């Protein structure tokens, strides 16, 4: 019977493959023999790799072979081959190539794995959970990486169960050469179990204590859980007003001996360190269309003015067809986490082929976010508008109508589900949006109706050549209204860069005899795009759009308009610049043969 040999170590052999990971050659200079497993042989070749040219002399070759054999043995021990033997040689012939011949021997297996608690152990439930988290069954290969991973899982489980100061001590590993087993004993100091206390702001960022405390996803006295601290950090960063947010437990109190207390103590304060972003930001934009004309946008944002993670946004828009001045206050995590209050008001003027109006109003919306891409919005708006409608053509072929002074109360209920990979430049996924707007109008006209809209878009990458197939469908209906009772600026219109390309803005649907758009009570749109990436910045697009606006709430599809075209995109990093040229397939009298659109972001 073979005499047993047994030795004790205080650590695992560290795999040299980590140190050699950056030294991989295209073709291994050192030949590895005796290892049939291709994956294991590849690891050995990586560990044995050395930068520089192949050896030119025999002494250099023997040196390289010797170093490679040491690296191979270290790697094999970390993989559980504790009896592996490596012999070195040089290949015969004029070309000098080091050779490492491996005799693997048996692969050692885990006998069992245990935890030795240094100091006071955690409670029984935590001890059992830590053992389960190890995840190493008896007879598993005795790999160093697996044992280290087991340590990490046990530590993570202890942290999750409320032991933030859990710490590793030097492990003990027994390698038994008699029965080819490895018996690791992990040594862990659990420390005290900690309850979470009050939230405290640290730093100079002006932040209201009550608002900050309301963001904490725990109640005072809850057991420590790193996921809770991470969630608070995520909520703060999502407000967009901080450059960084760090959430951590305050230091543990010291005992009389000067050491951190090990027994369960009073709840620990949670320190939040916030660094504000620059208080102001300015954004500028511009667009052009052959029918909608040109214009520019500007937005000035003041961050954290109230110390509530808030944003105060002043927006101005000056286009040929629209002028706007608006002020909005956004309050994140209003009343509860993941809920945004938006209140605002402003003045708006429109000058279009179908109507002219001038007015202003106020609004308030509450957005409830369920994750980064799913939200429900409820809100309302009160507006006053002086609207000049064009609803007939006189004997001089001039559009005529009436000027209405209207008070409009509008409700809002909307749902958004976005599973795409980008807001402005999606390449995969899909989006769904639904909106219902009950409306009450008084003044120059009295009526009630409900405006509904739904849109679905999808993005599918094809192959690995940068091709994306994108599609969109949209439908809308005004229920309870009629033409001409529904004010012109509240009707549906089709045509333009964000609708059916190839047609002028508002050009699709019912018209007066002089081609003035009349608008409708229903809307149907569809689009199909093929987007082909040429370089990291440039892409080409081919598209086909279709749409119809009907004079009844039920779509009839008997006057569908079709447009086709092509475009180019230049990706600026945050969004692409879009240039599209389109033509109508079935134009009507007065339609231009070509339309040009320039904007930022994809068409949908």
pLDDT, tens digit (0-9, with 9 covering 90-100), for 340-368: 999 999 999 999 888 899 999 999 999 99
Given a contact cutoff of 8 angstroms between Cβ atoms, the answer to whether 172 and 187 are in contact is yes
Q: Is residue 593 part of a domain?
A: yes
Q: Is residue 541 part of a domain?
A: yes
Three-state secondary structure of 417-437: EECCCCCCCCCCEEEEEEEEE
pLDDT at 26: 46
Within this chain, do residues 310 and 180 fall inside the same structural domain, yes or no? no
Within this chain, do residues 499 and 555 fall inside the same structural domain, yes or no? yes
Q: Is residue 14 part of a domain?
A: yes
pLDDT at 148: 95
Q: Is residue 11 part of a domain?
A: yes
pLDDT at 395: 63
Q: Give the E-state strand segments of 551-584 in sequence order.
A: 561-571, 576-584
407 burial via Cβ count (<10 Å: 0-12, 13-18, 19+): middle
**Cα angle: 247, vertex 252, 254; to 5 degrees:** 160
Within this chain, do residues 163 and 250 fall inside the same structural domain, yes or no? no
Cα–Cα separations (whole angstroms), residue 318 to 288, 298, 363, 388: 12, 9, 21, 20
Beta bridge partners of 289: 293, 597
Name residue, tokens 């599609």.
471
Cα–Cα separations (whole angstroms), residue 134 to 107, 138, 146: 21, 12, 9
Q: Tens digits of per-residue pLDDT, 506-550?
A: 999 998 888 889 999 999 999 999 999 999 999 999 999 999 999
Give the sign of the dihedral formed by CA 463, CA 525, CA 355, CA 364. negative
Within this chain, do residues 53 and 130 fall inside the same structural domain, yes or no? no
Query: 3-state DSSP helix/strand/coil percent for the chain, to nearest 5?
Result: 15, 45, 40
Within this chain, do residues 488 and 547 fall inside the same structural domain, yes or no? yes
Q: Is residue 1 part of a domain?
A: no
Beta bridge partners of 467: 462, 532
**What share of the chain has pLDDT > 90, as a percent?**
74
Measured CA to CA, the distance from residue 528 to residue 512 in angstroms comes to: 30
Measured CA to CA, the distance from residue 236 to residue 304 in angstroms comes to: 12
Within this chain, do residues 406 and 542 fall inside the same structural domain, yes or no? yes
Within this chain, do residues 302 and 215 fall inside the same structural domain, yes or no? no
Measured CA to CA, the distance from residue 349 to residue 511 in angstroms comes to: 22
What CATH number did the domain enclosing 285 receive? Answer: 2.40.160.50
Measured CA to CA, the distance from residue 278 to residue 339 in angstroms comes to: 24
Within this chain, do residues 357 and 447 fall inside the same structural domain, yes or no? yes
Within this chain, do residues 149 and 230 fall inside the same structural domain, yes or no? no
Beta bridge partners of 60: none
What CATH number did the domain enclosing 267 receive? Answer: 3.10.20.310
**Cα angle: 124, vertex 126, 129; to 5 degrees:** 110
Q: Tens digits of per-residue pLDDT, 68-113?
A: 999 999 999 999 999 999 999 998 888 889 999 999 999 999 999 9
pLDDT at 390: 79
Q: Distance between alpha carbon 350 and the CA centroid of its chain, in Å?
A: 36
User: How many structural domains does the chain have?
Assistant: 4
Cα–Cα separations (whole angstroms), residue 267 to 21, 392, 477, 589: 45, 75, 57, 77
Cα–Cα separations (whole angstroms), residue 376 to 277, 310, 433, 436, 491: 28, 20, 10, 12, 24
Q: Which positions of the chain have pLDDT values less than 50?
A: 1-26, 256-262
Name residue, tokens 């507006």.
383
**What share of the chain has pLDDT > 70, as a percent?**
92
Final residue of a structural domain among 174, 189, 204: 189
Preceding amide of 77 cis, omega within 30: no
pLDDT at 397: 58
Within this chain, do residues 29 and 135 fall inside the same structural domain, yes or no? no
Measured CA to CA, the distance from residue 309 to residue 301 in angstroms comes to: 13
Given a contact cutoff of 8 angstroms between Cβ atoms, the answer to whether 368 and 345 are in contact is no
pLDDT at 262: 47
Task: Locate 472 and state its tokens.
Answer: 């969109």
pLDDT at 20: 35
Measured CA to CA, the distance from residue 489 to residue 187 in angstroms comes to: 73
Strands 242-249 and 268-276: antiparallel
Measured CA to CA, the distance from residue 387 to residue 306 in angstroms comes to: 37
Q: Is residue 321 part of a domain?
A: yes
Given a contact cutoff of 8 angstroms between Cβ atoms, the answer to whether 285 and 267 are in contact is no
Measured CA to CA, the distance from residue 176 to residue 6 in angstroms comes to: 5
Final residue of a structural domain among 189, 205, 232: 189
Domain that holds residue 142: 109-189
Final residue of a structural domain among 236, 257, 276: 276
> Which residues contact residue 531 at a Cβ distance below 8 angstroms, ignoring those fewer than 6 apart?
427, 467, 468, 469, 470, 539, 540, 541, 569, 602
pLDDT at 205: 82
Q: Is residue 224 part of a domain?
A: yes
Within this chain, do residues 220 and 163 fall inside the same structural domain, yes or no? no
306 burial via Cβ count (<10 Å: 0-12, 13-18, 19+): middle
Nearest to 432 by CA among 402, 409, 447, 453: 453
Within this chain, do residues 470 and 537 fall inside the same structural domain, yes or no? yes
Nearest to 519 by CA among 538, 536, 556, 494: 494
């Amino acid at each position: 019977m073979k005499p047993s040999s047994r030795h004790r170590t205080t650590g695992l052999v560290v795999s040299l493959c980590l140190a050699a990971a950056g030294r991989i050659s295209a073709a291994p200079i050192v030949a590895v023999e005796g290892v049939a497993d291709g994956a294991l042989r590849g690891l050995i070749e990586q560990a044995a790799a050395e930068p520089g040219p192949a050896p030119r002399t025999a002494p250099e070759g023997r040196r390289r072979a010797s170093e490679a054999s040491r690296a191979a043995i270290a790697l094999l021990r970390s993989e559980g081959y504790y009896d592996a033997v490596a012999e070195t040689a040089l290949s015969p012939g004029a070309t000098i190539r080091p050779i490492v011949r491996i005799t693997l021997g048996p692969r050692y297996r885990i006998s069992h794995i245990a935890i030795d608690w240094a100091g006071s152990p955690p409670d029984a439930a935590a001890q059992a959970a830590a053992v389960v988290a190890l995840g190493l069954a008896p007879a598993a290969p005795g790999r160093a990486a697996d044992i280290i991973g087991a340590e990490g899982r046990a530590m993570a489980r202890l942290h999750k169960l409320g032991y933030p100061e859990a710490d590793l001590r030097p492990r003990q590993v027994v390698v038994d050469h008699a029965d080819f087993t490895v018996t690791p004993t992990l040594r862990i100091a659990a420390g005290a179990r900690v309850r979470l206390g009050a939230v405290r702001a640290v730093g100079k960022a002006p932040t209201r204590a009550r608002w900050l405390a309301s963001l904490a996803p725990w109640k005072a006295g809850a057991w420590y859980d790193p996921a809770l601290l991470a969630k608070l950090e995520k909520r703060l960063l999502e407000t967009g007003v901080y450059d960084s947010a760090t959430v951590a437990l305050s230091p543990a109190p010291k005992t009389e001996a000067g050491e951190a207390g090990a027994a369960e103590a009073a709840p620990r304060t949670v320190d939040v360190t916030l660094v504000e972003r620059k208080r102001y930001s300015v954004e500028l934009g511009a667009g052009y269309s052959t029918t909608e004309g040109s214009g520019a946008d500007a937005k000035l944002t003041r961050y954290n003015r109230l110390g509530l993670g808030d944003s105060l946004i002043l927006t101005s828009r000056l286009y040929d067809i629209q002028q706007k001045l608006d002020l909005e206050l956004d309050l994140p995590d209003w009343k509860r986490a993941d809920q945004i209050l938006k209140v605002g008001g402003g003045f708006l003027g429109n000058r279009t082929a179908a109507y002219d109006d001038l007015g202003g109003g106020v609004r308030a919306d509450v957005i409830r976010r369920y994750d980064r891409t799913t939200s429900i919005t409820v809100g309302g708006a009160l507006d006053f508008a002086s609207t000049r409608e064009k609803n007939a053509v006189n004997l001089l072929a001039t559009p005529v109508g009436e000027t209405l002074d209207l008070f409009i109360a509008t409700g809002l209920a909307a749902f958004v589900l976005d599973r795409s990979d980008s807001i402005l430049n999606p390449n995969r996924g899909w989006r769904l949006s639904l909106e219902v707007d009950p409306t009450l109008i008084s003044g120059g006209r009295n009526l009630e109706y409900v405006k509904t809209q739904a849109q679905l878009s999808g993005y599918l990458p094809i192959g690995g050549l940068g091709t994306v197939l994108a599609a969109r469908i949209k439908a809308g209906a005004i229920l309870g209204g009629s033409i001409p009772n529904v004010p012109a600026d509240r009707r549906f219109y089709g045509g333009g860069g964000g609708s059916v390309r190839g047609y002028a803005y508002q050009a699709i649907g019912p018209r007066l005899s002089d081609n003035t758009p009349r608008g409708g009570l229903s809307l149907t749109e569809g689009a199909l795009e093929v987007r082909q990436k040429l370089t990291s910045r440039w892409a080409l697009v081919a598209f086909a759009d279709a749409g119809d606006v009907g004079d009844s709430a039920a779509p009839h599809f008997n006057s569908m308009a079709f447009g086709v075209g092509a475009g180019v995109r230049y990706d600026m990093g945050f969004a692409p610049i879009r240039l599209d040229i389109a033509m109508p397939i079935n134009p009507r009298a007065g339609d231009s043969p070509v339309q040009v659109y320039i904007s930022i972001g994809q068409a949908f």
